[in-house]
């Protein structure tokens, strides 16, 4: 039987009995931090920012997030589509584990999407046929058939269910069925969902996901498709580094938080004009050899007016307890700014202001409370954005909306 470990995200380390090989595999997987204890046969294991469930060389690791599951899904959805994602549409069940909750939610949304039948669309097909269908591919006919009249190399559009939308739903259902502890009833419904798509092409692990375009024709699929993309990204083997094969369902809370803050603050900055540049490439040195990429730079005119970096928790590598502050100081120096703003998740770091000696640079830390419902969470982002603009290198313009919550309400109330 597999060894099962239950951990809390960024929680206290626990000691477990593991063989030398199992402990070494766990340590090299990148899923958790693991090190040999002073007591022979025991290993100290601690969860980092990854949450979910994973199988690592015979060890089943469950990591419970600090943040409410519904809030995680909201941040993921908002970062992918700030104008179209509606928290009310998802309706997550109050499950204790992230993976069963999302499996249940995906199954329900996919079933709702398919109530009117499978979506169909046109797909470009190139084939060899005994009769002419669509357009003759003349170059291919000469290249492959050497002048023979049959078969014909043709290209045509086929109206089919084998389209990206259905491929994504099928792929997500298959991935969830391979994960442990999916409730029996949910598993049964996922099997039924997959059986409806027997003519749909299976996704190939390691290949890119098929691209789909939101439209009025596939609007009933939208929520299910965004959940499917979350599932497929979270179950990607490429998500975790290390020589040990890892199968599972893992989200990196640091990435989720940084993506959400970057997108939400970009949206909020749009109210003040100027230009928000996410992941803006910069160089520290005059020779342009030392690259930097702040999470967000706001330009008010041709010059940078503010720089923002999102950090789920403070980075404190050994010997460099203020690594985030050093990094922000480098951004401010290169961009010629007298202020930089760091946005942390509340509880992982506190709000504070630091004035750098002999540099004339102020670094402001903000704390975002992720326990708040979506409306209040975005109101917090709007408030932080206002403070950033007021303290920026430009003269603060007037926002286009006096009350950010009204903008939110107009967008989010169905």
Structure tokens at 153: 């190399």
In a domain, 153, yes or no: yes
pTM: 0.78
In a domain, 81, yes or no: no
Residue span of the structural domain in which 43 resides: 3-64
Q: Structurally, how many domains does the chain consist of?
A: 4
In a domain, 78, yes or no: no
- Residues 199, 260: one domain? no
- Residues 113, 125: one domain? no
- Residues 262, 404: one domain? yes
- Residues 57, 107: one domain? no
- Residues 292, 389: one domain? yes
In a domain, 306, yes or no: yes
The CATH number linked to 377 is 3.40.1350
Q: If DSSP codes are grouped into helix, strand and coil, which group holds residue 185? A: helix
In a domain, 51, yes or no: yes
Concatenating the DSSP letter of every residue in 238-268 gives: GGS-SSS-EEEEEEEHHHHHHHHHHHHHHHH
In a domain, 105, yes or no: yes
Per-residue pLDDT of the chain (414 residues; tens, 9 = 90+): 468 899 999 999 999 999 998 899 898 888 999 999 988 889 999 999 999 888 887 888 989 998 888 888 888 888 887 776 665 555 665 555 777 788 888 888 899 899 888 988 877 776 676 767 667 776 776 667 666 667 777 675 666 888 899 999 999 999 888 877 788 888 999 999 999 988 898 888 777 888 888 888 888 998 889 889 888 888 764 445 556 777 778 889 999 999 999 999 999 999 999 999 999 999 999 999 999 999 999 998 889 999 999 999 877 665 556 889 999 999 999 999 999 999 999 887 788 999 999 988 999 999 999 989 889 999 999 999 999 999 986 655 555 544 444 443 333 333
Kindly give the residue spans of alpha helices, DSSP state H, lying in 114-183.
138-145, 164-177
- Residues 261, 406: one domain? yes
In a domain, 88, yes or no: no
- Residues 185, 260: one domain? no
The dihedrals phi and psi of 10, each to the nearest 5 degrees, come to 55, 25
- Residues 207, 275: one domain? no
In a domain, 148, yes or no: yes
- Residues 272, 398: one domain? yes
């Amino acid at each position: 039987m597999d060894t099962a470990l239950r951990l809390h995200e960024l929680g206290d380390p626990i000691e477990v009995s593991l063989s030398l090989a199992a402990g070494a595999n766990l340590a090299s997987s990148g899923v958790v931090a693991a090190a040999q204890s002073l007591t022979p046969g025991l290993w100290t294991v601690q969860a980092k920012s990854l949450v979910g469930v994973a199988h690592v060389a015979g060890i089943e690791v469950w990591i419970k997030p600090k943040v409410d599951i519904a809030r995680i899904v909201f941040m993921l959805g908002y970062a992918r589509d700030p104008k179209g994602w509606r928290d009310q549409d998802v309706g997550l069940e109050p499950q204790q584990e992230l993976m069963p909750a999302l499996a249940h939610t995906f199954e329900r949304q996919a079933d709702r999407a398919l109530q009117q039948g499978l979506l169909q669309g046109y797909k470009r097909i190139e084939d060899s046929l005994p009769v002419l269908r669509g357009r003759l591919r003349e170059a291919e006919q000469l290249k492959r058939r050497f002048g023979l009249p049959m078969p014909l190399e043709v290209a045509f559009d086929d109206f089919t269910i084998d389209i990206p939308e259905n491929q994504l739903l099928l792929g997500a259902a298959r991935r969830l069925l391979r994960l442990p502890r999916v409730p029996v009833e949910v598993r049964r419904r996922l099997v039924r969902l997959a059986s409806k798509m027997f003519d749909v092409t299976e996704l190939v692990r390691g290949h890119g996901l098929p691209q789909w375009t939101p439209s009025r024709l596939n609007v009933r699929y939208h929520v299910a498709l965004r959940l499917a993309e979350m599932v497929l990204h979270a179950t990607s083997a490429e998500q975790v580094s290390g020589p040990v094969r890892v199968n599972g369902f893992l989200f990196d809370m640091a990435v989720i938080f940084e993506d959400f803050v970057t997108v939400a603050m970009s949206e909020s900055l749009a109210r003040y004009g100027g230009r928000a540049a996410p992941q803006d490439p910069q160089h520290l040195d005059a020779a342009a050899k030392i690259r930097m990429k702040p999470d967000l730079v706001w330009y008010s005119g041709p010059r940078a007016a503010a720089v923002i970096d999102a950090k789920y928790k403070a980075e404190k590598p050994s010997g460099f307890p203020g690594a985030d502050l050093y990094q922000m100081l480098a951004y401010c120096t290169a961009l010629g700014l007298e202020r930089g703003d760091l946005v942390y998740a509340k509880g992982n770091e506190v709000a504070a202001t630091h004035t750098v000696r002999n540099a004339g640079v102020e670094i402001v830390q903000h704390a975002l409370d992720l326990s708040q419902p979506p409306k209040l969470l975005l109101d917090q982002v709007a408030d932080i954005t206002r403070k950033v603009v007021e303290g920026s290198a430009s003269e603060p313009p007037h926002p286009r909306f006096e009350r950010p919550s009204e903008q939110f309400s107009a967008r989010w109330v169905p």
